[in-house]
Each structure stands twice: as C-alpha cells, then as structure tokens.
Structure 1
Amino acid sequence: MKPMIQLLHFGYHQAMSCIFPVAIFGTLALSGFIHIPILHRYDTVLLILIVVQYLMYRSGLETLDEIKVICVFHFIGLLLELYKVKMGSWAYPEPGYTKFFGVPLYSGFMYASVASFMCQIWRRLRMDMTGWPGLLSSGLLGGSIYLNFFTHHYIPDFRWWLTVLVFIVFWKTWIIYRVRTTTYRMPLTLAFIIVGFFIWLAENIATFFNAWKYPNQSQSWHLVSLGKISSWFLLVIISVIIVAQLKHVKANRATNALQ
C-alpha cells in the first residue's frame, strides 16, 4: 500500500510542476481550432501564457525568484529561435503581430517551461544534489553546449563529444528528492535523459498542432526525429546547470545569513 501512496504523491507533484508546460501545449492545441477574430493565433498564445504566468505568481504557485529564472530562459530561448529560424532549421508559417524575424514571441515560453518545471519540482520534492562538479566545469560545459547549437551550422557538430563530457563531468552527481517522509536518489544524467524524452513527446504534439514545422513536415506531419532527443537532452542540461547553480548560491546566502 505504501508504494502506491508514494507513487500517487510523486505523480501529484510532477503534475503540479507541469502546469505551465501543460498550459503551453494545451493552448497551442486549442488555438488550432478556436480563433479570436482580432488576434492571430501566435498573438493569442502569447497573451494567454502571460496571463497564466501572472496567475501562477499571484496564486503562489510560482515565486518571484522562479519568475526571474523563467525570464532568463525566455531570453535564451528566443535567441536560439531567432538563429535557428534564420538558418532554416524550422519555421513558424502563420502570421502574427508579435512575430519578429519569423519568430513569434511566445516561442521563448517553450524554453521557459522547462525552467518552470525544474524550479517547481525542485521546490516540491525538496531536492538536493550530491557530487555537484562546481560552477567552473558545469558552467563551461553548459556554455559549450549552448554555443554548439549555433556553431554546428558552420563547423562540425560536437554534440556527441559534449554528451560524453556530460557523463564524465556529472558521473558523481546524484539527485536527492523526497516524497513525504522518504528520501530517494537517482543519477543526474538519468534525469537528463528522462526529461529530454518527455520534451520530445511534447514536441511531437506541438508540431502535430502546427505550433511550428520542421522542413520535412512542410507538406504533412511526420514524427519528429528521434535524434532530437539528444538536442533536448543537452538543452535540459543547460536548464539544470543554471537552476542548480542559482539554488546553490541562494542556499549559501541563507547559510551565511544565519551565521
């Protein structure tokens, strides 16, 4: 009986942590069938997501610090979107008032939703980490991963070398999480893979509802390449590095304040 209760509590916290991602993909799905006369679809999605974020903050579901992290990821995501759309990696075919250089502003929220999930689940499951490699190695690795998303259009793609480095840098790092009174742990790299896989599933849903299109989906929808899981795996690592480092800094400040 206890394992079932633990699983239900774990599932509840996972579901509550996914409110913003679900809001994004739910809005994308519904906006494909329900149209607001004055606004284009992309503008409607942006407006709804801003309202959702505001309501989550006002209701206490998200803290001010979490909102700040989400804004950082929105900016990081928009930079990547602007570059990738320019390079023809994917496209947003529909019109929009809040669309710049072919990229709708709501797209940054898709990256921010990953940060929202990370922040929420960290707080809800009272997460800690052991064996964290530190700011220098994790920061250099995260920066290299992000840079590779841009440079692989001109020089060789180093994603697989970077993936190997991830396992080397984080091989001692474990996530500690708590469900009720019981403490569990898992390798951080396993968490990267799991989250990356679920983002890939969400990406298939989003492209099915024409949130954006890859070149091979211009005529009809096709399953997103399994190779994209590696991209999301690496992107999740950037999210975790930033969130974990911010949590680490905040914990140190709290400790110093008590001394």
Structure 2
Amino acid sequence: MTTRILARLSLLRLSVLDDHLSSHVDRPHLAGSFRFLAEFLYFGIKEARACLFAGLFFVAVFAIPRDGLWGVPRYDALLIAAVAIQVWMVRAKLETIDELKTITLFHVIGFALEAFKTSSGIKSWAYPDFAYTKLYGVPLFSGFMYAAIGSYIIQAWRLLEVRIAHHPPYWMAGVMALLIYVNFFTHHYIGDYRWYIAACALGLYARSTVIYRPLDRDRKMPLLLAFVLIGFFIWLAENISTFFGIWKYPNQLGAWSAVHVGKWSSWSLLIIMTFTIVANLKHIKERTHVPA
C-alpha cells in the first residue's frame, strides 16, 4: 500500500512538472541575457525530462553491483529494472501503445545488431558477465538501450513541441535509414561506406529544420545538427557504460580507455535511422512538413 501511494505521488509530481513545461504562458518581460538563461534552463529541464527512461536505466546501472543483487546476476537485474520502467511508463500514460510498438521495433533492430557484433566471427565488443537471460551471447536488456533512444525522441517531441520543416520524402528517408543499418553489418566484409552514406544524408537533410519551443518562443536548428549533438551525448553515455563494465570493447579488456571518437559518427548515423522510424508515428507526421 505504501509503495502504491509513493508511486502515485511521484506520478502526480511528474504530471505537474509536465503541465508546467507544456504551458503556453507568454513572458514578454524576458529579454537579452535573462531570456537566454531562462530558455537555456528550460531547454535543459525538458531535455532531462525527455531522457526519463534512459535516466532511470542509468540509475539502475549505477545502483546494481557487478556481482548482482539478491542473488540475481547484474544483467538479469538490469533486464528486470528496464521492463519495470517500461511498464510503468505505459501504465502512467507517459507513452502510448502505438509509441510502445515503435519502441519494441528498436528492441528487435538493436538485438539483431548486438548479436552480430558480439558473434565469434566479429567480436566488436562483448558482454563478459554471466546472465540467465543471454541469447546468442547478448543479454536481453541490451535492446532497451536502443529503445531508450527512441523513447527520448518521442518524449522530446512532445515536451519541446517539435515540428520539422522540409523533411525529405519518407521513402527517401527510409532508404537512407536502411543503408545506414545495413552498413553496420556489411562493413566487416565489403568496406565501411559510412562517410559516403553521411554525405548522402547531408544532401538529403540539408534543408530540414527543427522548430522547437524551449520556453514561450519558437527556435530553429538544422536537423543535421540535432543528429550530431544527440550522437555526441550517446557517445558520452557509452563511455560511462563501458567504464562501469556493462560491455567492453577489445581495447578495454585489460584496462578501461575512452571509446574511440569515431563511434560518435556511428551514433549520429544511428540517430538518423531512429528518427526515421519515429517520424512515421501518426501524431509526429502531423507536425512534419514534406515539400510537394
């Protein structure tokens, strides 16, 4: 009973916060540096709120010891925590069923990539710890790391009232997303064409603009810049995850070292693919302008 009451209180507080962040109150008195600081602060709060799933999952990463918890191996405990967070977000109506279906697709895409990259013939990285919930050497919680990116984009879209101007035709964006994903597999056999794909993406999204509202006025940003910035923060999160031994690259098996900065480009491309999938949600399409 106490746990249920605490859960309701936390949800109530989150609802109050969301209502405040989504309010449309004009603030004409703000100008100059005061407006900049206020918008920067609210932008940061909204971004942090959009990272709710990822943030709670990282709390679990920090809180669960490497030896596990109450006899449950760490990877299995992380899976339980991730499922619990996801169920709570849906039941609390922080994510809809349609959004959950899209997020589930990221689980499938992410797991397929993880299984290939950790296979005996590739060994790009590894999950060294034991777990009951490993399949093909990949702990099942790993899919939630990809789903967290999709969850972030969905939440940020709502909180920042995002609109997209000059989005490329959906079929072109879909082909680009497919090429990005396929290259993650094929570059082990026929060469890495990420920079050629990146050049194509540069041309495809050159005119695309993100229109968002950090406070009470619309601001604009090139969509390509948004992809690069999100990729950078995921690269930072990857450094934190490998530092805590959630997974390891071959050069980190003896002692930890920073993830190569080249992974930043991989994550930025993955964001393009993720965004393309999320952009097909009905309520997001309604705020996306595709030139005729």
The 8 Å contact of residues 205 and 224 in structure 2, kept in 1 or not, is answered as yes
- Residue from 124, 149, 172 that aligns with 1:137: 172
The 8 Å contact of residues 196 and 230 in structure 1, kept in 2 or not, is answered as yes
- Residue from 227, 238, 252 that aligns with 2:273: 238
Q: What SS does the corresponding residue of 1:229 show, helix, strand or coil? A: helix
The yes-or-no answer on 1:95 pairing with 2:121 is no
- Aligned positions of 1:68-87 closer than 5 A: 68-86=101-119, 87=122
TM-score (norm. length: structure 1): 0.93
Q: Render the CA deviation track for 1:157-205: whole Å, top value 9, x for unaligned.
A: 1001011111000001001111232001100100011000000000000
In structure 2, how many angstroms separate the alpha carbons of the residues matched to 1:34 and 1:9?
39
TM-score (norm. length: structure 2): 0.83
In structure 1, how many angstroms separate the alpha carbons of the residues matched to 2:242 and 2:196?
29
Kindly provide the amino acid, as one letter, of the partner of residue 31 in structure 1: I
- What is the aligned partner in structure 2 of residue 174 from structure 1? 209
Kindly provide the amino acid, as one letter, of the partner of residue 179 in structure 1: P
The yes-or-no answer on 1:212 pairing with 2:247 is yes
Runs (4+) of structure 1 exceeding 4 A deviation are 247-250
In structure 1, how many angstroms separate the alpha carbons of the residues matched to 2:125 and 2:187?
15
Residues 34 and 20 (structure 1 numbering): CA distance in 2 closer, same or farther, change over 3 Å? farther
- What is the aligned partner in structure 2 of residue 257 from structure 1? none
- Residue from 144, 163, 173 that aligns with 2:198: 163
Q: What SS does the corresponding residue of 1:175 show, helix, strand or coil? A: strand
- What is the aligned partner in structure 2 of residue 53 from structure 1? 86
- What is the aligned partner in structure 2 of residue 126 from structure 1? 161
Q: Over alpha carbons, which structure has the higher Rg?
A: 2
Tell me, which stretches of 5 or more residues in structure 2 are unaligned? 1-33, 288-292
The 8 Å contact of residues 32 and 209 in structure 1, kept in 2 or not, is answered as no
Cα offset, 1:70, TM superposition:
1.1
Cα offset, 1:66, TM superposition:
2.0
- Residue from 22, 34, 40 that aligns with 2:55: 22
The 8 Å contact of residues 25 and 202 in structure 1, kept in 2 or not, is answered as no
In structure 1, how many angstroms separate the alpha carbons of the residues matched to 2:189 and 2:243?
30
In structure 1, how many angstroms separate the alpha carbons of the residues matched to 2:213 and 2:124?
40
- Residue from 9, 34, 38 that aligns with 2:71: 38
In structure 2, how many angstroms separate the alpha carbons of the residues matched to 1:48 and 1:228?
27
Cα offset, 1:39, TM superposition:
1.4
Q: What SS does the corresponding residue of 2:189 show, helix, strand or coil? A: coil
Cα offset, 1:84, TM superposition:
0.5
* Equivalences, count: 252
Cα offset, 1:238, TM superposition:
0.3
The 8 Å contact of residues 177 and 185 in structure 1, kept in 2 or not, is answered as yes
